[in-house]
Amino acid sequence: MLATADVVPAEIAELDQEQRDALDACVIAAMTWCSPGGDARSRARLLMECHGRYMRACGVFGKGAAFPDFLDRLRKDPVGELLPGPGSWSKIWELRLLEDDGTAAPVLARLAMEASEQAQEVPGMGADLRHVRSVLRALGKLPAGARLSRISAEAVQHAVFRALQRAGFEMYTRGREVLVTEPVMARRALARHGYLVDLGVYTAISPMRQFAGWWAPCPFCQWTMRAVPRGRHAADLLCEDVRHAQRGARFRMSFSKGQWRLDPAGDMRDAPELRPVESQVALSYGLWQWIVVPGLLEIELKELAEAEGATVRLWPYGDSYDLHIAKNGAVWRVDVKTWADPQGIAEQMRQDPEGCSGLIVVIPEHLRGYTGVLTRVLGRYGARVITDLSLIGEVSAA
């Protein structure tokens, strides 16, 4: 299964304009179809508008279908069967936007972040999109009217992290760690982090990640799990990161004996505690994806290297790289990349070729297949590309 984070703007860019327009229409229609809440007339209007845009993208002799058939195909067909024109090598081609039961597939929310401005009208998703935009605009990194698909993960990270640097190095390090380890917190607790309040990176919990006034944290990343209603008295809760869901971050919420309870639906024995939505604030989807997910691996590598006897500093010298690891005279200057976009990684690092010299670019083990292409591009600048498991192996052997 393709992980949510593996769908990137670089793959979408491989589609031609008609295919991108059709994909946008299908994504917003699918998101509208499976999202709870919202005015029925508004939802119907948006679905019909998406159908009209889809028909225009497909053209007179394309794959366009009547409105009922369009909705039926959204639920049954992979993306490749929906888009006009020739096939593509893109992984997107093989994906389905909706599961068999009509709920959102893991990739759908990520694609919605890349889709047209209409995504702001989708119940739940609109709150996330508006929040990411407001943060970036406040930091001067997003002109009015710009699409999120034109903003890279690196741009978001740098905008937030450079704003944190104004508070000084100690506050920068602490603030960055708080974002990663506490993606949800009580408003009263947030008030103790004045520099984060000023950034405006926390907001009310999205309607898509709560049910009956309750939410629950993913056991692995502590962020709000997505809530998929199953009638009035039950819902499925699962992490947006498909790897976390596969490891057991899937639960069933139900009402029994006068109270709500959460039970494991996967391999985990215990379920996290349900928490009231009231007075809680969280990072939105985009900030979770672009800051929390990579930060988790950075902190995990720090702990693993220290367990092997190394001395580790997180995020030394501001935003220049992620970990400085030292053991028995050996030093590793590590820059962690968790997004599956070798072209984007290479282009970003080529902008500072001198900074690449002696740098170790670390990618997750599941992206091992990208080490070759990244080595060919970055090796000429003196950088080395390895996986997280290889890094800890080297530290252990030193």
Average pLDDT, the chain: 86
pLDDT of residue 345: 67
Question: What sign does the dihedral 57-62-68-71 (CA atoms) show?
Answer: negative
SS3 call for 296: helix
How many whole angstroms separate alpha carbon 91 and alpha carbon 82? 14
Q: Which residues pair with 264 in a beta bridge?
A: 251
Query: Which token pair is 135?
Result: 């943060």
Q: Which residue has the tokens 């936007």?
A: 97
How many whole angstroms separate alpha carbon 64 and alpha carbon 55? 5
pLDDT of residue 238: 93
How many whole angstroms separate alpha carbon 90 and alpha carbon 106? 17
- Find the Cα–Cα–Cα–Cα dihedral 251, 255, 260, 265, rounded to 10°: -10
Rg (CA), the chain: 22
Rounded mean pLDDT, 63-84: 87
Residues in the chain: 398
Of residues 6 and 164, which shows the higher confidence score? 164
How many whole angstroms separate alpha carbon 120 and alpha carbon 16? 24
**Residue 1 pLDDT grade (very low, low, confident, very high; cuts 50, 70, 90):** very low
Rounded mean pLDDT, 254-269: 92
- CB of 73 within 8 A of CB of 65? yes
Of residues 117 and 47, which shows the higher confidence score? 47
Rounded mean pLDDT, 157-179: 85
- Give the CA count within 13 Å in the CB-facing half-sphere of 385: 24
**Residue 366 pLDDT grade (very low, low, confident, very high; cuts 50, 70, 90):** confident
pLDDT of residue 36: 72
What are the domain boundaries of the chain?
4-121, 130-204, 211-270, 308-397
Identify the H or E element spanning 173: helix 169-181
Rounded mean pLDDT, 193-222: 92
How many whole angstroms separate alpha carbon 206 and alpha carbon 204? 6
pLDDT of residue 4: 46
Identify the CA nearest to 129 among candidates 210, 208, 228, 15.
208
pLDDT of residue 3: 47
Question: What sign does the dihedral 206-195-163-315 (CA atoms) show?
Answer: negative
How many whole angstroms separate alpha carbon 14 and alpha carbon 25? 17
**Residue 34 pLDDT grade (very low, low, confident, very high; cuts 50, 70, 90):** confident
pLDDT of residue 12: 73
How many whole angstroms separate alpha carbon 392 and alpha carbon 107? 30
Task: For the full predicted model, state whether its pTM sits above 0.85.
Answer: no
pLDDT of residue 346: 66
Extract the runs of DSSP E, i.e. beta strands, from the chain: 184-186, 203-204, 214-215, 226-229, 234-238, 250-256, 259-264, 275-276, 280-282, 311-314, 323-327, 330-336, 359-363, 384-387
Of residues 335 and 15, which shows the higher confidence score? 335
Q: Is the pLDDT of residue 296 over 90?
A: yes
**Residue 64 pLDDT grade (very low, low, confident, very high; cuts 50, 70, 90):** low
pLDDT cut 70: percent of the chain above it: 86
Rounded mean pLDDT, 160-181: 87
> How far is it between the farthest Cα atoms of the chain?
69
